[in-house]
């Protein structure tokens, strides 16, 4: 097989880059063994505001402008619903938080995204004495549906290999890479936290932040927006809600824990007052970087070996935007934004 690209990893990064390649009539094959779970278990929110500190997400307007049309095309291609427009409301716990919200809404980068009107809480099952603030241009992407459907699409077109990728078998030549029976012009590693086993990029400062989420059934809650307090509560339909997430630094496994479950439930019960049942619990390790920016670019010495990683908890928004940058860097020699170029750590 001869292709333009080998892509290793089929999470949000890999899918976004595949779509860019399809758009540009480039050929590719994808390797994914299902070992990385962060895209599958993500809450899936796209939210242009960091609600803990009331600050704007890096290049949020540009990210949304690129990402939302990509997800609409994917819905049409795959024949599934992925993008659910839903408001995000921040629960205030003090007058000080309200004042901070109003101050933030006057900032240039935040004006398009923060509603300056506060909302009274009309839901008797929610404790929100200090009102709610609404974030604009938000929604939820069904990342599991996207992953499952896209892998099915790739399998149908003989573009997905579900074997584990053995880095030792990769042969790098001046103008190509060869992996077993496949020859490609370029290879892009989009392995998420799996990069720690990648001999080409394992020394880059990519950490792993484990996140755990609960899905609950709460028939009396009747919440029609995403509520952000000490945890997120995300409506999924049919009285089902996703609750999360945890941020754990030491444990790098995909194993769920009772400790995380108890912590999420304890936080949830501080502002939700109704009966509910825990339906499921999932865990995954987010690929995170100390400066909160992705790791993208070319290997130091191998000119046809590339990296697309470090999307952290904002992968839904940032993945299509970064995919565009990486493609232009490889194919058109357009420099990457220095804030995401992995060469900043070489």
3-state SS, one letter per residue, for 51-103: CCCCEECCCHHHHHHHHHHHHHHHHHHHCCCCEEECCEEEECCCHHHHHHHHH
What is the predicted pLDDT for the residue at 122?
Answer: 94
What is the predicted pLDDT for the residue at 107?
Answer: 87
List own/partner pairs for 20-25 with CB under 8 A and 24 or more apart.
20/320, 20/323, 20/324, 20/326, 20/327, 21/327, 24/327, 24/331
Three state DSSP letters for 244-290: ECCCECCCCCCCCCHHHHHHHHHHHCCCECCCCEEEEEEEEEEEEEC
Q: Which residues, at least 6 apart from 332, have a Cβ–Cβ distance to it below 8 Å?
A: none
Q: How is residue 331 written in tokens?
A: 């194919």
pTM assigned to the model: 0.92
What is the predicted pLDDT for the residue at 121?
Answer: 96
What is the predicted pLDDT for the residue at 54?
Answer: 86
Cβ(279)–Cβ(257) below 8 Å = no
pLDDT, tens only, 308-325: 999 988 899 999 999 999
Cα–Cα distance, 272 to 57 (Å, whole number)? 28
Cβ(63)–Cβ(318) below 8 Å = yes
Cα–Cα distance, 273 to 124 (Å, whole number)? 8
What is the predicted pLDDT for the residue at 109?
Answer: 83
Which residue ranges in the chain fall short of pLDDT 70?
40-41
CB atoms within 10 A of CB 301: 8
Cα–Cα distance, 208 to 85 (Å, whole number)? 29
Cα–Cα distance, 270 to 292 (Å, whole number)? 29
Cβ(81)–Cβ(179) below 8 Å = no
What is the predicted pLDDT for the residue at 207?
Answer: 84
**Residue 147, SS3?**
helix
Q: Are strands 177-179 and 182-189 parallel, antiparallel or unpaired?
A: antiparallel
Cα–Cα distance, 166 to 170 (Å, whole number)? 7
What is the predicted pLDDT for the residue at 215?
Answer: 96
What is the predicted pLDDT for the residue at 40?
Answer: 67
């Amino acid at each position: 097989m001869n292709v333009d690209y080998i892509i290793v990893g089929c999470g949000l990064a890999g899918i976004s880059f595949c779509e860019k390649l399809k758009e540009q009539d480039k050929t590719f094959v994808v390797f994914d063994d299902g070992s990385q779970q962060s895209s599958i278990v993500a809450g899936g929110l796209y939210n242009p505001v960091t609600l803990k500190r009331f600050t704007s997400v890096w290049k949020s307007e540009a990210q949304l402008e690129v990402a939302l049309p990509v997800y609409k095309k994917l819905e049409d291609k795959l024949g599934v619903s992925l993008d659910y427009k839903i408001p995000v409301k921040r629960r205030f716990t003090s007058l000080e938080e309200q004042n901070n919200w109003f101050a933030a809404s006057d900032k240039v980068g935040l004006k398009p995204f923060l509603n300056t009107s506060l909302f009274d809480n009309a839901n008797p099952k929610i404790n929100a004495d200090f009102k709610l603030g609404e974030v604009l241009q938000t929604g939820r992407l069904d990342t599991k549906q996207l992953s499952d459907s896209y892998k099915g699409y790739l399998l149908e077109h003989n573009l997905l290999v579900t074997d584990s990728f053995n880095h030792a078998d990769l042969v790098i030549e001046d103008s190509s890479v060869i992996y077993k029976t496949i020859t490609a012009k370029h290879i892009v590693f989009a392995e998420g936290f799996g990069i720690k086993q990648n001999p080409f990029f394992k020394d880059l400062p990519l950490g792993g932040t484990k996140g755990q989420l609960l899905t609950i059934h709460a028939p009396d809650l009747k919440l029609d927006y995403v509520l952000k307090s000490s945890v997120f509560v995300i409506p999924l339909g049919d009285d089902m809600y996703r609750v999360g997430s945890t941020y754990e630094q030491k444990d790098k496994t995909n194993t769920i824990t009772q400790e995380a479950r108890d912590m999420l439930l304890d936080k949830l019960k501080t502002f939700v007052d109704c009966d509910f049942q825990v339906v499921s619990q999932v865990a995954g390790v987010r690929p995170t970087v100390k400066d909160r920016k992705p790791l993208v670019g070319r290997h130091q010495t191998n000119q046809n070996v590339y990296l697309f990683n470090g999307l952290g908890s904002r992968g839904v928004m940032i993945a299509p935007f970064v995919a565009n940058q990486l493609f232009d860097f490889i194919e058109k020699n357009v420099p990457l934004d220095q804030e995401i170029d992995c060469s900043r750590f070489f």
